[in-house]
């Protein structure tokens, strides 16, 4: 019996490590990078999680060193290894905050732990970013890559409306600046989203296996304390959009905070819609159709602002108007 349990544990541990490594190497699947490790924790506990996480980091480091073996410049190779490893390390750091084993925040609502995890990841990433910015070879290499991407829009034969707008109003330097600004304004928000997706996906898997309970979206409520930060961040974003004031170094913080809060209020808005479906006994087929329409609109440039702005506004409106049946606070 003990031999069987040991074999089962080893299989689960190996499967979690292999899946995490594979997910980290395949584009958009990085969203699911931590899901196998979350699942391992729920099934086997923190000890196996530590073993699995450590194994994943070692394997990724070996793979990264091997992939960069052809880079002769030592400084550039070190920078490439660092930038390749920083994302999985930050995601794992966030995971340890989210699973509620960090002393001092244990017992906090998970949404707060996600906020703290994102903040901790930013504090780790900033010095790494500053270190990379001092590496002239790395900056030159990244600049060349961005220039090549910009060339797709600015080169001959790219005579689309969007490319003409970029050529006329931005130019190559403008595109480089725009891309840098975009990443600075959204990096923490993207990290928050990936952490949330990983935590929720693993929770749903365990729920399907009848191993844990899961909070329905219809019962998700944003804390009232988030309202003023949301309104202030929205005000700051509008100030920059209309170029009324230059917010300088505060801009990345305002945009990242605003995007994160818009996203969670958007989830509350979606929870309201699902709750109304239940209140009025809407047929399942119609519910699926409405949510599919929302997804389609979200993917339509220009029109997607209906969802991007509409869902958070709907979520915020519940601060004053209770649109759902009385449900327990989360």
User: Per-residue pLDDT tens for 289-325?
Assistant: 999 999 899 888 888 889 999 999 999 999 898 887 6
Query: Which range among 29-38, 57-66, 82-91, 161-170 shows the weakest confidence by mean pLDDT?
Result: 161-170
Q: Are 88 and 21 in contact (CB under 8 A)?
A: no
Task: Calculate the average pLDDT of the chain.
Answer: 83
Q: Are 270 and 313 in contact (CB under 8 A)?
A: no
pLDDT at 31: 86
Mean pLDDT of 203-211: 79
Q: Are 268 and 318 in contact (CB under 8 A)?
A: yes
- Report the percent of the chain where pLDDT is more than 70: 82
Mean pLDDT of 230-256: 89
Mean pLDDT of 213-218: 83
Q: pTM (2 decimals)?
A: 0.85
pLDDT score of 247 more than 90: no
Confidence of residue 330 (pLDDT cuts 50, 70, 90): very low
For the CA atoms of 239, 245, 251, 255, the dihedral, rounded to the nearest 10 degrees, stands at 0
Highest mean pLDDT of the ranges 70-84, 112-126, 206-220: 112-126
Which residue carries 């070692």 as its tokens?
A: 58
For the CA atoms of 293, 296, 297, 302, the dihedral, rounded to the nearest 10 degrees, stands at -170
* 128 or 266, higher pLDDT: 266
Which residue carries 């945009």 as its tokens?
A: 255
* 82 or 150, higher pLDDT: 82
Q: Are 51 and 59 in contact (CB under 8 A)?
A: no
Q: Is 36 exposed, middle or buried (0-12, 13-18, 19+ CB in 10 A)?
A: buried
Q: Are 132 and 84 in contact (CB under 8 A)?
A: no
Query: Which range among 10-24, 172-186, 286-300 shows the weakest confidence by mean pLDDT?
Result: 172-186
pLDDT score of 117 more than 80: yes
Q: What is the C-alpha separation between 320 and 201, in angstroms, rounded?
A: 31
pLDDT at 19: 95
């Amino acid at each position: 019996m003990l031999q069987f349990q040991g074999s089962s544990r080893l299989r689960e541990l190996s499967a979690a490590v292999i899946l995490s490594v594979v997910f980290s190497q395949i584009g958009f699947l990085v969203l699911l990078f931590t899901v196998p490790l979350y699942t391992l924790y729920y099934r086997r506990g923190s000890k196996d999680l530590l073993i699995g996480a450590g194994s994943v980091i070692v394997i990724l480091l070996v793979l990264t060193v091997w992939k960069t073996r052809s880079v002769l410049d030592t400084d550039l190779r070190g920078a490439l290894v660092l930038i390749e490893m920083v994302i999985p390390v930050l995601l794992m750091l966030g995971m340890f905050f989210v699973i509620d084993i960090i002393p001092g925040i244990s017992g906090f609502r998970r949404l707060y732990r996600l906020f703290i995890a994102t903040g901790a990841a930013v504090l780790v990433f900033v010095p790494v970013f500053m270190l990379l910015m001092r590496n002239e070879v790395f900056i030159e290499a990244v600049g060349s890559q961005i220039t090549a991407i910009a060339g797709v829009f600015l080169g001959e034969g790219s005579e689309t409306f969007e490319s003409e707008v970029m050529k006329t109003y931005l130019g190559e330097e403008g595109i480089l600046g725009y891309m840098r600004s975009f990443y600075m304004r959204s990096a923490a928000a993207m990290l928050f989203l990936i952490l949330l997706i990983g935590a929720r996906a693993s929770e749903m898997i365990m729920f399907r296996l009848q191993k844990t309970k899961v909070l329905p979206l219809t019962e998700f409520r944003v804390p009232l304390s988030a309202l003023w930060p949301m309104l202030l961040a929205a005000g700051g974003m509008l100030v920059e959009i209309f170029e009324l004031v230059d917010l300088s170094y505060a801009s990345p913080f305002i945009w990242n905070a605003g995007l994160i809060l818009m996203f969670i209020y958007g989830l509350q808005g979606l929870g309201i819609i699902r709750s109304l479906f239940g209140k009025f006994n809407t047929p399942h087929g119609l519910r699926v159709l409405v949510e599919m329409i929302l997804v389609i609109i979200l993917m339509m440039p220009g029109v997607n602002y209906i969802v991007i702005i509409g869902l958070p506004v709907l979520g915020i409106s519940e601060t004053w108007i209770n649109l759902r049946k009385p449900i327990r606070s989360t």
